[in-house]
Structure 1
Amino acid sequence: MRALAQYIMRGRKQAAVVAFFGSLLPLVSPAAVSLVTLSKGFAEGLLVFLWGCLPLLIAFYVSGVSPMITLATLAGMIVVLLSSEVLRQTVSWSRALLVLVFASAAGTLVLNLLFSDSARELEALVAGIFSQAQEQSGSGVTTFEPGRAFLLGVIGYVVALTSVACLVLARWWQAALYNQGGFQREFHRLRFSPLVALSLVVAVTACYMAPQEYASWAGLLGLPLFLAGIGLVHFTVAHYQIGGHWLAVFYVGLVIIGPLSLVLVGLGLLDSILNIRTRLVKGND
């Protein structure tokens, strides 16, 4: 992966090639856009972004895949470009993640307004899948019928999550090339102000208290605190030097234990209020 990052940074031509053909592999194309933006600025990143968009535009017109999926992928490229520029200028993961999350939400809503027919087709497809799954379960009772609001929340969350993955990959590439250990130090310091954290928790709670259709938006709005919780876990493991295998156990638990995600959101909130990292450091002095 480091060799790929080196190739991208050799010049505009190389970066454009990776952005164009990288769409065949998960994350590669937007990560290339992000790396160039982080290292060379918005203008250079925008040029690479345009090359990365070409395969998506071709797929939009000739592919049999739902147009909404292709458009959501394009929206993700835009989100990665914007959040990468914010991270480059501010060197603040908290600000970059807030921009990323709200740009993902805004982009999803704009797609719904501009391409309502495509959204309606995808909504019907998802509803059919849910209905078929419930029929195969043998219950004979329809417990939930996903509507437009639910679908948009899922799309926004997927756009944000993939954008985060691309931004993390690009920052890791940049650190590997120019600043060894820099990404780790930044991620370990990820923390939000109490006001921002409380606002996010209120928004997540409102989604859960609203009709079930809007519950899917809770994952998107809780994503920043979720990542802050993960950053605190990484910091704690490194601070106490208890071994990287515990991180492997943690991620396995994250996959198989659903409520652990909510625990991490709560951990991110507590850290924003109590500054747990500082307390851990002082406790060892």
Structure 2
Amino acid sequence: MPRTARPPLRVPSWPWWAALAACVAGVVLLYAALVWSSAGQVLEYQVFRAVEERYADTVPDLASRVVRLLPLTLAAGVALASLGALAVPRWRRRGMLALAALIGANLTTQLLKAVLPRPEHAAGVPFSGGNSLPSGHMTLAAGAAVAALLLVPARWRPVTAVLGTAVSALTGAVAYTEAWHRPSDMAAAALVAAGWGLLAVPLALHEDGPRPAPRGARAAEIGMWTVGAVGMAAGLVLLWLTLEAPAAAGASPHPAAEPAGILLSAAPVVLCWGALATAFRRSRTA
């Protein structure tokens, strides 16, 4: 039988370019506003001081044990599945793109952590010994979720996006509550992973051509956009409430500080995944 000609590679539309630029700009703004800036460090310390003492805990609880292993396990599993896909001609493109997104996101995070300094300002914020933006834990989880989204057939993408969002959000929340990372670290990692996913979208859909959106795609997107937006709004309101009691080393944190930190550590990844799911659907049906 003659081989079916592949559809021509479509040039992405301006919303795709805007989303990709937003990922890059978001990482830059997070670093400039909350890491480089003295005022930003003080603002983020409003929520981080609620959990900072847990960093010294020598006996991890169940949640921290799970999140220590879950991102790495998922990343290894997706990497093996991607390598397996390389052996099947019709799945080879998926495997290559999934590996590229997974490896690219984690290399980007490690490079940024290594080259971006965290200045020590005379603002009363304890110095942690260096930059922790973006979060490596979140990048492992989010990068694995993006790679899985690229690897699975289109009909499984809505449920894969929801599961990947849940795992990534859980990783971000626990990484904050265990004082491994600040909320900005998780948000930056989500943007890095989403950016690599967006880079792969046009190539992932090239061989499929335009097709109807998978069942449940719009519902999954609406859910992620809604949960992410509500979570971000609630987190910012709680952060504003903490400003009633300015942060100071040794002082008791505001009761709203930890809930604000959890929401601001988890909600950004939900928004990123809503945008990524929308990018897949719009590109597939264009």
Q: What TM-score results when the alignment is normalised by the length of structure 1?
A: 0.36
Q: What TM-score results when the alignment is normalised by the length of structure 2?
A: 0.36
